[in-house]
Amino acid sequence: GGRAPRGSWSPDSSGSPSLREPRYRVVLLGDPGVGKTSLVNLFAGVQERDLLDQHGGAAYERRLTVDGEETTLVVLDTWEPEQQGEKSQRCSHCLQVGNAYIIVYSVTDRDSFESASELRIQLRRARQAEDIPIILVGNKTDLVRCREVSEEEGQACAAVFDCKFIETSAALQHNVAELFEGVVRQIRLRQGGKKS
Ligand code: GDP
């Protein structure tokens, strides 16, 4: 059956008032500069609830109500390719721990779009047997004149890779709430289908 690793990110938060409430880990992947931190900051709002995960990445926690049900999302913003040495290790770790993944590229940067496909392939390899929700995100749609990747290309890529797709603008706060609500819905769909 599905064995979602639980709790490794926040060992024994026994002070938590609602242990029955679902708590999901979402990992943000993508090239530097595509807007991951901006998106997660918008989602998390004030950063007073920041956590530090055990590998030094930033984790943001927020409760949200989607379709009338409350959920806690822990969002991990961990990809730090500047540190070449640690990159592969940290990344293989983040490929293991997510209940869902958000792969972000910038619509103004074709290289980041190519990287998104590579990340999708790595993820599939790392979690072969599992059906994990993945959302492909084209960010920075406000930069209309710098666009290098069309919405149609993004959609086509998502179709090939069997992901959901959404375009966002962190700058205009466009589609950001929809993105994270969509993640929750995707996780619930999977869990409803085949819960052990
Ligand atoms: P990260 O490296 O993926 O975490 O990217 P950041 O969130 O640090 O963003 C990199 C740069 O892009 C910053 O200067 C952001 O202000 C800018 N940025 C992020 N999202 C958007 C967006 O939707 N529109 C525009 N115009 N700029 C953005």
Q: Which two tokens stand for residue 192?
A: 């409803």
How much distance in Å is there from the Cα of 21 to the middle of ligand 1?
A: 32
pLDDT score at 10: 43
pLDDT, the chain, mean:
82
The one-letter code for the residue type at 61 is: E
Position 189 scores a pLDDT of 93
Tell me the pLDDT of the chain (196 aa) as tens digits: 444 444 444 444 444 455 567 889 999 999 999 999 999 989 887 554 455 555 556 788 889 999 999 999 999 886 555 444 445 555 677 888 899 999 999 999 999 999 999 999 999 899 988 999 999 999 999 999 999 999 999 999 999 999 999 999 999 999 999 999 999 999 999 987 544 4
Please state the length of the chain.
Answer: 196
Which residue puts its alpha carbon closest to atom 22 of ligand 1?
140
Quick check: CB of 42 below 6 Å from ligand 1?
Answer: no
Three-state SS at 52: strand
Closest CA to 53 of 28, 85, 35, 20: 28
CA dihedral 60, 106, 186, 191 (to 10 degrees): -60
pLDDT computed for residue 192 by the predictor = 72
Comparing CA positions, the residue from 171, 183, 178, 117 lying closest to residue 141 is 171
Q: Would you say the CB of residue 38 lies under 6 angstroms from ligand 1?
A: yes
CA distance 154 to 107: 9
**169 touches ligand 1 (CB under 6 Å):** yes
Contact between residue 27 and residue 115 where contact means Cβ atoms under 8 Å apart? no
The pLDDT of residue 160 is: 95
Spatial CA neighbour of 39 closest among 166, 176, 141? 176
SS3 string, 169-186, reads: ECCCCECHHHHHHHHHHH
The edge-to-edge listing of strands for the beta sheet with 134-139 is 51-52, 58-66, 69-77, 23-30, 100-106, 134-139, 164-167
What tens digit of pLDDT does each residue of 154-192 get? 999 999 999 999 999 999 999 999 999 999 999 999 987
Q: In whole angstroms, give the CA distance from residue 115 to residue 112.
A: 5
41 CA closest ligand 1 atom index: 7
Whether ligand 1 lies within 6 angstroms of the CB of 58 is answered as no
C-alpha of residue 143 to centroid of ligand 1, in Å: 11
What's the confidence (pLDDT) of residue 96?
87
Please report, in angstroms and rounded to a whole number, the separation of the first and last CA atoms in the chain: 6
What would the DSSP string read from start to end of 71-92?
A: EEEEEEE---TTSHHHHHHHHH
Both structure tokens of 88:
């592969």
Token pair recorded at residue 2: 């599905």
Kindly give the number of the ligand 1 atom that is closest to the alpha carbon of 32: 2
